[in-house]
Amino acid sequence: MSLLSTVRLLMLAIVLAVLPACSTTGTGSPRGKMVMSELYFGLSKPSGGTVSPREWEHFVEHEIAPRFPDGLTLIDGTGRWRTQNGVTVRENTKILRIVHPATADQHARIDALRKRYMELFGQELVLEVVTPVHAVF
């Protein structure tokens, strides 16, 4: 098991351990356990160049939006991270925030989205941060 897989499993275990304390209500009715997933999509391509605005928008319309039709938030950012080879990369980043039920189906959608981005743009990883939340819709 890779270090990234181990870290992801540990994060999921922590989230599941603290979720019982979190619940969500809208108009007085419980919506179940909710989490906020943030995904960090680096725009630098390892082969050179960057993910263009057109490529990004196509990814949003054809990969992100169909998986999360109930809503999402996209944020522009900049970041730094160290590759497996020890090289520090500075790059523009797109941050995706989704507040969703803490279900296996939602986790599978997010995992498929991460893998698809890595596949399309040759990325080493897409960081996922999962936080329990109290959300009111």
**Strands (DSSP E) along 1-137, which ranges?**
34-42, 73-82, 88-101, 127-133
Residue with tokens 């391509």: 45
Domains and CATH numbers, the chain: 3-133 (3.30.70.120)
Residue 135 has a pLDDT of 85
Alpha-carbon distance 9 to 1, whole Å?
A: 10
Averaged pLDDT score across all residues of the chain = 83
- The answer to whether 51 and 43 are in contact (CB under 8 A) is yes
HSE of 47, CA atoms in CB hemisphere, 13 A: 7
The tens digit of pLDDT for each residue in 40-99 reads 999 999 889 999 999 999 999 999 999 999 999 999 999 998 888 898 989 999 999 999
List CB contacts of 135: < 8 A, sequence separation 6 or more.
24, 31, 34, 36, 99
| 3-state SS, residue 119 | helix
Question: The tokens of 127 are what?
Answer: 């960081």
Alpha-carbon distance 104 to 116, whole Å?
A: 18
Residue with tokens 């050179």: 48
